[in-house]
Amino acid sequence: MFSLMKLPRVVTINQVPKEFHEDSIISGYRHPRSSATDCILSLFQLTNETLNIWTHFLPTWYFLWKLVSVVLMQTVWQHPFTWPLVVLIVSSCIYPLASSCAHTFNSMSPRARHMCFYFDYGALSLYSMGSAIAYSAYVFPDKWVNNILHQSFIPVALLNSVICTSLACYSRLGLPILHHNHDLVKRFPECRSPRFRKALRIVAFAFPYLFDSIPLLYRVFLCEGEGCTDNDANVFHKTHIGLAFLTGFLFATHLPERLAPGSFDYIGNSHQLFHVFGVLGTHIQIMAIERDMTLRRSLLLDHSLAITFGNSVGVTLLCLLLNLTIVLLFSLPLLSTRIDQQKKQNSSAKAM
């Protein structure tokens, strides 16, 4: 069927504006003014975004299946104890879906590219919040249950999520698309440095993960003696930690394409591997959480913080609202400049 359609033409790095350039990716770019239809059709041809899209779109359906199975089998709404698990799985559905949409439609225009990834960053921040809620409910080692860190863990994680989204969105504002808007350039001159933008983005996502993982890292690597919660889930936790650090390494280093620019444009570049190992890590993380939830249920129900709507589903909805607000605030300047340009074009057309 698709052979009868006219698939969009792919171009090289020299044929797209600088803000569309990817490090060490030379070919396979889509036209920077693609229509929505072109973007959807590009799913069925090989571009440098095709695998980025599918490596997150397909796992979205797996996590949705997982969510349905958990809700049906755990009779989730009958007991708040399972709510943090559901929150984690819901956030695990949202972030790959947002990512696949961002990679699908980011070639429509420079403004669309920024806005697509704003939503992507917000979804990742929501996932970090879901992880924190699940860790607070099931992962804290026995000797840390109800300590000061445990009691303040979710509020701090919420603050980290907001900061993460803000910093990640902020890191995009200095790109060439905004050079016509002198006010914004003057407000954010430091963001014109690609290295600064990259470093800021890495910090924005690494810090929430490291904070969320404090009880887990202590439990599986540092804790000794009684109260360390040494159970079967620890093997899965260690695997998840290894995969998380691998995805961070791939995102930061742009390997292997940096070693051979142009050789991994379509298959095997760091961002594709980042997606694959990231999703695999999320899958292992959910498996570990499920084991902890089952093995520690009686102990946690008797001694841990009570799980309520407010510290599980409620704080997740608040996080979602705050992140959507941040995304909207960063998107408004892009939308306003577009409206101004359209007005000028209409005025010029009338004058003619």
Instruction: List, for residues 103-161, the tens digit of each pLDDT value.
Output: 999 999 989 999 999 999 999 999 999 999 999 999 999 999 999 999 999 999 999 99
Pick the closest to residue 334 from 129, 159, 116, 143 (CA basis). Answer: 116
pLDDT band at 33 (very low <50, low <70, confident <90, very high): very high
What is the spatial distance between Cα 199 and Cα 16, in angstroms, rounded to a whole number? 24
Cis peptide leading into 80, omega within 30 of 0? no
pTM equals 0.91
Token representation of residue 89: 């799985």
DSSP states of 157-194:
HHHHHHHHHHHHHHTTTTSGGGTT-HHHHHHSGGGG-H
Q: Which of 6-20, 95-109, 112-126, 162-176 shows the lowest mean pLDDT across its residues? A: 162-176
Pick the closest to residue 122 from 334, 337, 338, 330 (CA basis). Answer: 330
DSSP states of 50-117:
HHHHHHHHHHHHHHHHHHHHHHHHTTGGG-GGGHHHHHHHHHHHHHHHHHHHHHHHTTS-HHHHHHHH
Question: 3-state DSSP helix/strand/coil percent for the chain, to nearest 5?
Answer: 75, 0, 25
What is the spatial distance between Cα 290 and Cα 69, in angstroms, rounded to a whole number? 13
Other beta carbons within 10 angstroms of residue 102's beta carbon come to 23
Helix (H, G, I), strand (E, B) or coil at 48: coil
Walk me through the domains of the chain, giving residue ranges and CATH numbers: 8-336 (1.20.1070)
Residue 188: what pLDDT? 45
Give, for 120, the enclosing helix (H) or strand (E).
helix 110-138
Residue 71: what pLDDT? 79
- Which letter, b or e, does each residue of 131-143 get, where b requires 16 or more Cβ atoms within 10 Å of its Cβ? bbbbbbbbbbbbe
Convert the pLDDT of each residue in 182-191 to its tens digit.
Answer: 455 444 444 4
Q: Specify the residue for token string 């899209």.
A: 53
What is the spatial distance between Cα 142 and Cα 145, in angstroms, rounded to a whole number? 5
Q: Which of 96-100, 280-284, 336-340 shows the lowest mean pLDDT across its residues? A: 336-340
Give, for 320, the enclosing helix (H) or strand (E).
helix 315-351
Residue 305: what pLDDT? 93
